[in-house]
């Protein structure tokens, strides 16, 4: 099949020799290095580092953010659930249900969430949505303790016309919903996509603090004409803004490029 969205420069070069979870995924799935000695060595050492320091309760450092980071890294590398991942998911979901969140509602620094597909909105929405996203990634999406929060957040989104308290929180909810086979077709998702469509500018970007690459990537997961139209409109601008080294953006270039390439491959599938 002809690739409708071909970048001008080599977008995979940035992943060469990368040992990050995203880089290892790109080297395995897109650069086809899975059976090479270098990839296997880097994979083993990186996964070992991701697993190190896990506490008996399943968490890392008794921290939701640290545990989310480790689980997301394991999702991009190990992929399949095992006993230690199950223990971590159980801790995260139970911790979330206790709603013992910090007094400060918004996370102070974007750097906290670097290399994660989430925005720095309300802490409680972040933890809830990240927990749902990760549970679904490891095939826990239909568990009662996971489906209940999906329903609750979905009702909140519907009541607010397709968004939560901020565009960052809406992005986090969209990320959690698009990966779920059933909830990706829900009314809540339809309303979020419509909401984003109203915010999209002629340039293909979305208004305000809407994260460009994360929004493109999330929408590319959906079997929706509206979502695809927004993606195509965004891609026309994004392809023109590619750096000469094949990356996108000024910071977090590898991560931005991962999000773009992943979206392009889904749209071309």
Residue range 222-241, pLDDT digits in tens: 999 999 999 999 999 999 99
Contact between 183 and 189 under an 8 Å Cβ cutoff? The reply is yes
Taking only the tens place, the pLDDT of each residue in 65-121 is: 999 999 999 999 999 999 999 999 999 988 755 444 443 455 555 578 999 999 988
What pLDDT score does 144 carry?
Answer: 83
Q: Which residue has the higher pLDDT, 263 or 1?
A: 263
Strand, helix or coil at 101? Answer: coil
Quick one: what percent of the chain has pLDDT higher than 90?
Answer: 82
pLDDT at residue 111, rounded to an integer:
74
pLDDT at 269 exceeding the cut of 70:
no
Q: What is the mean pLDDT of residues 19-30?
A: 98
What six digits make up the tokens of 88? 């971590």
The mean pLDDT value for 210-226 works out to 96
Distances (CA, A) of 266 to 51, 192, 220: 29, 20, 6
- pLDDT at residue 2 is higher than 70: no
Q: Which of 90-94, 187-191, 214-218, 220-224 has the lowest mean pLDDT?
A: 90-94
pLDDT at 1: 39
Q: Give residue 142's pLDDT band: very low, low, confident or very high (50, 70, 90).
A: confident
Q: Report which of 264, 267, 268, 237 is spatially closest to residue 26, judged by C-alpha positions.
A: 264
CA distances from 140 to 44, 89, 104, 204 (A): 25, 9, 30, 35
């Amino acid at each position: 099949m002809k690739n409708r969205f071909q970048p001008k420069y080599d977008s995979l070069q940035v992943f060469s020799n990368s040992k990050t979870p995203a880089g290892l995924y790109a080297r395995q799935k897109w650069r086809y290095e899975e059976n090479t000695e270098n990839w296997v060595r880097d994979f083993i050492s990186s996964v070992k580092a991701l697993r190190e320091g896990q506490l008996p309760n399943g968490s890392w450092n008794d921290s939701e953010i640290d545990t989310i980071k480790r689980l997301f890294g394991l999702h991009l590398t190990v992929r399949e659930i095992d006993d230690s991942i199950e223990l971590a998911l159980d801790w995260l979901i139970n911790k979330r249900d206790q709603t013992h969140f910090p007094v400060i509602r918004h996370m102070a620094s974007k750097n906290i969430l670097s290399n994660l597909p989430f925005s720095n909105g309300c802490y409680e929405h972040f933890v809830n949505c990240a927990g749902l996203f990760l549970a679904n990634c490891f095939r826990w999406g239909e568990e009662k303790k996971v489906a209940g929060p999906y329903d609750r957040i979905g009702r909140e989104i519907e009541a607010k016309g397709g968004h939560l308290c901020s565009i960052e929180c809406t992005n986090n909810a969209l990320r959690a919903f698009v990966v779920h086979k059933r909830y990706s077709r829900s009314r809540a998702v339809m309303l979020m996509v419509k909401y984003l469509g109203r915010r999209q500018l002629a340039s293909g970007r979305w208004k305000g603090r809407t994260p460009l690459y994360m929004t493109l990537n999330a929408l590319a997961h959906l079997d929706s004409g509206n979502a695809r139209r927004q993606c195509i409109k965004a891609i026309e601008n994004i392809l023109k803004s590619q750096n000469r080294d094949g990356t996108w953006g000024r910071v977090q270039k590898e991560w931005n490029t991962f999000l773009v390439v992943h979206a392009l491959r889904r749209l071309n599938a």
